[in-house]
Amino acid sequence: MATGRTHRPATRSRGIPEATVARLPLYLRALTALSERSVPTVSSEELAAAAGVNSAKLRKDFSYLGSYGTRGVGYDVEYLVYQISRELGLTQDWPVVIVGIGNLGAALANYGGFASRGFRIAALIDADPAMAGKPVAGIPVQHTDDLEKIIKGNGVSIGVIATPAGAAQQVCDRLVGAGVTSILNFAPTVLSVPDGVDVRKVDLSIELQILAFHEQRKAGEEALPDGLPASAAAARESTDKGPDGDVPAVMPA
Amino acid sequence: MATGRTHRPATRSRGIPEATVARLPLYLRALTALSERSVPTVSSEELAAAAGVNSAKLRKDFSYLGSYGTRGVGYDVEYLVYQISRELGLTQDWPVVIVGIGNLGAALANYGGFASRGFRIAALIDADPAMAGKPVAGIPVQHTDDLEKIIKGNGVSIGVIATPAGAAQQVCDRLVGAGVTSILNFAPTVLSVPDGVDVRKVDLSIELQILAFHEQRKAGEEALPDGLPASAAAARESTDKGPDGDVPAVMPA
DNA sequence: CGATGTGAAAAAATTCACAGCA
DNA sequence: TGCTGTGAATTTTTTCACATCG
């Protein structure tokens, strides 16, 4: 770790582990809540509980960012909010476009969590001409024909795909062609993108299936349906969470 | 906590790694697509490509399930679909309730991937009296007052929370109290649940924040405002997670 | 004192690479 | 011959435990 390039108490110079990056938003949210309640400082133990992870992990995660705490005291909430925000790149404004304004697209457009976190919905795009001009979440929907113009005109680099599966790849190609380099895909398809483009997926059916797996295990600790010697419900808790709260993982990342 | 382990000493087979479980739905989707095209067999290489992972990982994953392939040939698509479905507990019908029928709840209710994979929407529940009786996705919305009755009456063990953050914990408590043991949470809150209850979280803003992190890294290799150089993250990914594509789901109408 | 920060150990996940079977 | 299945090696992530410092 650390490319100790001298300068500063080092640490954090190279790559912050992906697993850590995935948890930073979690910490940020817990910190924001504390901030709103005007809580000045918080210990790793308290913050960890609020975020749903264990304190050792949290401290290790923070150690990749730098030494932002005070021994014997804890962390300054405001300072940490700033540091994590900066690390995540949320101190700048990210214009985002949402393509596919169906039920989900509308839900996303109305989702407050975006605007409050450095993301700004630059445009809503849909292929249905009937949708054009119609306001959703106060933003007029624009037609797919203008996709490239919209992307380039607003310097959009992050796109959200909420179209039906069949249209996803095509939309993806156009987004990438217009300059988008990060895509959040809600369509149930594997998107292929060129190098340099990030794709993250959110898949409801997958999450449900994982739940079903654990649920099945809870119910059948012994009564095994299908024969097959290999099948023996056993071991492993169903909870499988850290020492405290819950906090599964999301990402799949 | 650290209590409650014991149980069976892992009977050789049933110790499927969590990471593997999380990928089974991916394989299942790819296999289903092949099945619909009447493809009889598939090699680990081909299937891996379709699912967006590398073949070594896929073979290793399958090895936890058993030896379902044929050397020199590959895997029988239908057989594998069945085995994975069974492993995930999808050969049975899972009644699910969705609580919070706002934009997101409605989107989820309309999501086709539900019914097609062993999940059945047993009921839609909302706290707004005005919603009661109103059909969403063909299912009449019921009032929160009847939550317990609905859960118990339908033997529901999986609940989806799509309410505002403020109501999530309360709804969660009621679901758990009524017998739900698996929860898919879309509200941006950490839910606390008793042991034995699984919670998985899907947080749209978190996914975007992770994208922003990578996006920032791509763009800002040059100069960063605040002191500390922001990691140089050299080579490495272009496509975060898996070797390439992804597999999302959820989609509007 | 008390809580952070962090080496070191442990566990989990991924990748390698090849023996072995159809 | 071709591809699976898997032990072994490697890498990543988590957890431990304690020196350290405010």
- Residues 103-122 of chain B sitting with CB below 7 angstroms of strand D: none
Q: How far apart are CA B188 and CA B31, in angstroms?
A: 33
**CB-facing half-sphere around the CA of A9: CA atoms within 13 A:** 7
Which residues have Cβ atoms closer than 7 angstroms to strand C?
A: A 9, 11, 43-45, 55-56, 59-60, 62-63, 67-75; B 17-20, 53-54, 56-57, 59-60, 70-73, 243
Radius of gyration for the alpha carbons in chain B, expressed in angstroms and rounded? 21
Question: Which of A205, A208, A250 has the CB atom closest to B203's CB atom?
Answer: A250
pLDDT over 70 at A171, yes or no = yes
Cβ-Cβ contacts under 8 Å, B106 against chain A:
103, 107
- Three-state SS at A199: strand
> B113 and A5: CB-CB below 8 Å?
no
Which residues of B carry a binding-site annotation for NAD(+)? 100-105
pLDDT over 90 at A114, yes or no = no
Nearest CA to the C1' of D4 belongs to which residue?
B71
**CB-facing half-sphere around the CA of B186: CA atoms within 13 A:** 28
What domains can be seen in chain B, in order of their start residue?
18-88 (1.10.10.10), 94-202 (3.40.50.720)
Contact B145, B128 (CB under 8 A): no
Which of B81, B198, B244 is the best substitution to test chain A (most A C-beta atoms within 10 A)?
Answer: B198
> A237 and B52: CB-CB below 8 Å?
no
Biggest alpha carbon–alpha carbon distance for chain A: 63
User: Which is nearest to B160 in space by CA: B106, B90, B85?
Assistant: B106
Other Cβ atoms within 10 Å of A206 Cβ, number: 27
Average pLDDT over residues A134-153: 98
Structure tokens at B100: 């919070």
Q: Name the band, by pLDDT with cuts 50, 70 and 90, for residue A14.
A: low
DSSP secondary structure, A91-134, as one string? TS-EEEEEE--SHHHHHHHH-HHHHTTTEEEEEEEES-GGGTT-
Share of chain A above pLDDT 90, in %: 74
Contact A91, A118 (CB under 8 A): yes
Cβ-Cβ contacts under 8 Å, A156 against chain B:
none
> B196 and A239: CB-CB below 8 Å?
yes
| pLDDT tens per residue across span A40-89 | 999 999 999 999 999 999 999 999 999 999 999 999 999 999 999 999 99
Contact B175, B163 (CB under 8 A): no
pLDDT, residue A233, reads: 29
pLDDT, residue A221, reads: 53
Alpha-carbon separation of residue B206 from A84, A181, A202, B212, B219 (angstroms): 13, 18, 11, 10, 20
Q: Return the top range by mean pLDDT from A18-27, A103-112, B227-236.
A: A18-27
CA distance B137 to chain A (A): 11
Phi, psi of A162 (to 5 degrees): -130, 35
DSSP letter assigned to residue A15 = P
pLDDT, residue B220, reads: 66
pLDDT along chain B (253 residues), means of 10: 30 74 97 97 98 97 97 98 97 96 94 84 98 97 98 98 97 98 96 95 93 90 39 30 29 27
